[in-house]
A = this chain, B = another copy of it.
Amino acid sequence: MADSSIHITKAKSSTDIATLIGLIGGFGLVIAAIITGGSPGSFINIPSVLIVIGGTLCVTMICFSLQEMGRTAKVIVKTISYTSRDPSEAAIQVLQIAELARRQGVLSLQGILEQLESEPLLYKGMSMVVDGTPGEEVETILKKDMFSTVQRHQKSANVLKKAAEFAPAMGLIGTLIGLVQMLGNLDDPGSIGPAMAVALLTTFYGAVLANMVFAPMASKLDRNSVEEAMVNNIYVMGAASIGRQENPRRLEMMLNSVLPPAKRVEYFD
């Protein structure tokens, strides 16, 4: 059969450039302000960097386990290069596959599997369906995958929220250390200014870390997690329905019941 040449419309996946634009734009503005001020070197102070970044890392680590800290690092990278998918198009994609399976049998899906590799959950589900795994089992296994992804994202968002809480506190602690050192040594009036500048650097680092990295990243992570769960749910419902060899029209009805009103699809007439 030439059906293996069938092309499944992929859900248009747009890389979420807002995160990158925001990060680059925000830091660009801060760096520009520093450079135009004349002496960018005075904004770099290794001990200050260590006490704020290292301290925030240490204090956040007290709150969690090493494993949770490590996973968060990975999740941050994934959030920056996040690929958002339109739930409507994901539903259309699933309905196309369901129609193909209906018309030419489940085994014909073998030919389109490689087109699905960019969507791990859908790929895994369809592979199981092709291997003859019953629909109920496909659903159970994929739901476990999906649920643990959501949980992992929530834990990572909590790590970032705690880091956003502790970064300004570590900045304050660093500034207090600097102030106490400066005040104990006021003999040379000429050193007061620079010493005070260094003391304020940790407050600056803490404010930048918390407000330009940790807090907005946690916020974005929460937002993406909701969006991703919706798309993944569509894939789970689709794979289970195809595995149970249900009528694709019934699948459409079920998908529409979980899609937000503005995103409902009308694939069959």
Q: Which A residues contact B (CB, under 8 angstroms)?
A: 16-19, 21-23, 25-26, 29-30, 32-34, 36-39, 42-43, 47, 50-51, 54-55, 57-66, 69, 84, 143-145, 147-148, 151, 162, 165-166, 169-170, 172-174, 176-181, 183-186, 190, 192-194, 196-197, 200-201, 203-204, 207-208, 210-212, 215-217, 219-220, 223, 260-262, 264
Check B173–A30 contact: CB distance below 8 A: yes
Task: For residue A54, give the distance in angstroms from its CB to the closest CB of chain B.
Answer: 5
Q: Which 8 A-B pairs have the closest CB atoms?
A: A22-B62, A144-B261, A186-B193, A62-B216, A26-B58, A183-B197, A22-B61, A25-B58
Question: For residue A180, which residue of chain B has the nearest CB?
Answer: B197
Question: For residue A23, which residue of chain B has the nearest CB?
Answer: B62
The complex places the Cα of A47 from the Cα of B28 at a distance, in Å, of 12
Task: For residue A182, give the distance in angstroms from its CB to the closest CB of chain B.
Answer: 8
Check B21–A61 contact: CB distance below 8 A: yes
Task: For residue A268, give the distance in angstroms from its CB to the closest CB of chain B.
Answer: 17
| Residue contacts A-B, CB under 8 angstroms, 22 given | A18-B62, A21-B61, A22-B58, A26-B59, A32-B50, A37-B178, A38-B185, A39-B181, A60-B216, A63-B219, A65-B223, A144-B261, A148-B260, A148-B261, A162-B216, A162-B219, A169-B210, A179-B197, A179-B200, A183-B193, A184-B197, A185-B193
The complex places the Cα of A185 from the Cα of B37 at a distance, in Å, of 11
Contact pick for A61, options B25, B194, B203, CB 8 Å: B25
A184: chain B residues at CB < 8 Å are 39, 42, 193-194, 197
